[in-house]
Amino acid sequence: MNSEMKEKIFVILTVDFEKDACFWHHPSKKFDYGGIMIGTHKLVEILSTFGVKCTWFVEMNKDYPQSDMLFLFPYVVKSLAKRQDEIGAHIHWSKPNQLRRKYEYPTTNTSMLVHNSYYIEKSIKYCKEKLGEVGIKPVSFRSGAFFCVPWLPLILQRHGFIADSSSFQGYTTKRWPQSKILSQINRYKTLKPSKQPFFCDGKYCYKQGNLKIVEFPVNYSIDSLLRYEFLRRKIMLEVRYRQKPCFLTLYFHVYNITDSDSGPDELTKIDYYKIRKLSILLERLSKIDYLEFITLQEARQIFVDLYQNK
DSSP characters over 210-239: S-S-EE--B-EEHHHHHH-HHHHHHHHHHH
Query: What are the backbone angles phi and psi of residue 287, rounded to the nearest 5°?
Result: -85, -10
% of residues, the chain, pLDDT over 90: 68
| CA gyration radius, the chain | 18
Whole-number pLDDT of residue 255: 96
pLDDT higher for 309 or 258? 258
Closest CA to 305 of 156, 294, 167: 294
pLDDT of 180: 46
> For position 88, what pLDDT does the model report?
98
Count other C-beta atoms under 10 Å from residue 141's C-beta. 27
pLDDT at 102 over 70: no
Dihedral over Cα of 112, 217, 82, 284: its sign: positive
Interval 19-54: pLDDT, tens: 998 889 999 998 999 999 999 999 999 999 999 999
The beta strand positions in the chain, using DSSP E, are 9-17, 55-59, 86-91, 95-97, 102-104, 140-143, 163-164, 198-199, 214-215, 220-221, 246-253, 291-293
What's the pLDDT score for residue 172? 78
* pLDDT of 89 higher than 50: yes
Any idea what the Cα angle at residue 102 is, between residues 31 and 117, rounded to 5°? 110
Q: Please, what CATH class does the domain formed by 3-308 belong to?
A: alpha beta
Whether 36 and 77 have beta carbons less than 8 Å apart is answered as no
Which has the higher per-residue pLDDT, 3 or 150? 150
Q: Is the pLDDT assigned to residue 106 strictly greater than 80?
A: no
pLDDT at 165: 97
Mean predicted confidence (pLDDT) in 70-96: 91
> Is the pLDDT assigned to residue 116 strictly greater than 80?
no
Whole-angstrom Cα distance, residue 61 to residue 148?
Answer: 17
Q: How high is the pLDDT of residue 5?
A: 75
- 206 touches 170 (CB < 8 A): yes
So what's the pLDDT on residue 117? 73
Distance, CA of 100 to CA of 95 (rounded, Å): 11
CB within 8 A of 274, min separation 6: which ones? 226, 256, 257
Look at residue 136 in the predicted model and tell me its pLDDT. 96
Amino acid at 243: Q
Q: How far apart are CA 308 and CA 310, in angstroms?
A: 6
Lowest-pLDDT choice from 25-39, 78-92, 110-124, 251-265:
110-124
pLDDT band, residue 128 (cuts 50/70/90):
very high
- Model pLDDT for residues 169-219, shown as the tens digit of each residue: 878 776 554 444 454 445 556 678 899 999 999 988 999 999 999 999 999
Q: How many CB atoms lie within 10 A of CB 306?
A: 16
Residue 292, helix vs strand vs coil: strand
User: Where is average pLDDT lowest: 98-112, 221-235, 262-276?
Assistant: 98-112
Higher-confidence residue of 116 and 60: namely 60
Judge contact between 258 and 33, C-beta under 8 A.
no
pLDDT of residue 151: 86
Query: What's the pLDDT at 114?
Result: 46
C-alpha triplet 310, 52, 309: angle, nearest 5° = 5
Mean pLDDT taken over the chain: 87
User: Do the bridges between strand 9-17 and strand 291-293 make them parallel or antiparallel, or are there none, so unpaired?
Assistant: parallel
151-175 per-position pLDDT tens digit: 899 999 999 999 999 999 878 776 5
